[in-house]
Amino acid sequence: MPIMPMFPLGSVLFPSMPLALRVFEERYLKMMGAILDQEPSEFGVVLIERGSEVGGGEHRFDVGTTARVLQIEAPEGPLEVIARGERRFRVISWLEDDPYPRAEIEYLEEFSASDVDLVALAETEETVRTTLEYLKGLDLSLPWPTEIELSDDPLEKAWQLAGISPLGTLDHQDLLNSSNLVSLLETTHKTVNEALEIFRLTRSGDE
């Protein structure tokens, strides 16, 4: 089974989503140096269950996404890395964090674009964008603009809608764990719609 360099984070990376990192810890600087000599230049991202991104010793979820390195810049200070989410995987076992985190993984079955329900995709997109627009009206800070352009590829768009959805990290992890495309779209639509209702109820209660 493949051995993958790993970068545990406090957020979920989805396939087809961008990832920007500022790398300053020595162990991850070593990791970036090592993977740049490989083709493809990639590492795995998993969500931290307990603990922090800095220092090690954290507990990690076992389903994550590979990140392909697209660009690295080395200005004065931390290393700036731009990557893109590619394939989902499951961690089979963790190896020693020496000199950086690594794990034995197995790739999860990839979804097929032919399985995309275009009606469900459109409904999910409308719900996600409506919720982002509502939160924008509350002057809340959003990680993604409401008018963000998404891929024309239906499968990529399904993952991107999950990625930009204004949900917590545990909800995002549940979406990443989806067993099929129907479940991904249904859960994204349902969870975001429930979040919108909570936002509206909370605001009406404050008025």
Q: Which CATH superfamily is domain 3-107 in?
A: LON domain-like (2.30.130.40)
Q: Is 172 left (phi over 0), alpha (psi -120 to 50) or beta?
A: alpha
What is the rounded distance in angstroms from the CA atom of residue 27 to the CA atom of residue 167?
30
What is the rounded distance in angstroms from the CA atom of residue 104 to the CA atom of residue 95?
7
Give the per-residue pLDDT at 153: 95
Give the per-residue pLDDT at 207: 55
8 to 26, 94, 176, 184, 188: CA distances (angstroms)? 15, 12, 15, 23, 23
Q: Is 77 left (phi over 0), alpha (psi -120 to 50) or beta?
A: left
Give pLDDT < 70 ranges for the chain: 50-58, 203-207
Tokens of 169: 């990290």
Give the per-residue pLDDT at 51: 54
pTM for the full model?
A: 0.91
User: Contact at 8 Å (CB) between 165 and 172?
Assistant: yes
**For residue range 81-121, what is the model confidence (pLDDT) as tens digits?**
999 999 999 999 999 888 899 999 999 999 988 888 999 99
Domain boundaries, the chain: 3-107, 113-206
What is the rounded distance in angstroms from the CA atom of residue 155 to the CA atom of residue 58?
32
What is the rounded distance in angstroms from the CA atom of residue 56 to the CA atom of residue 187?
32
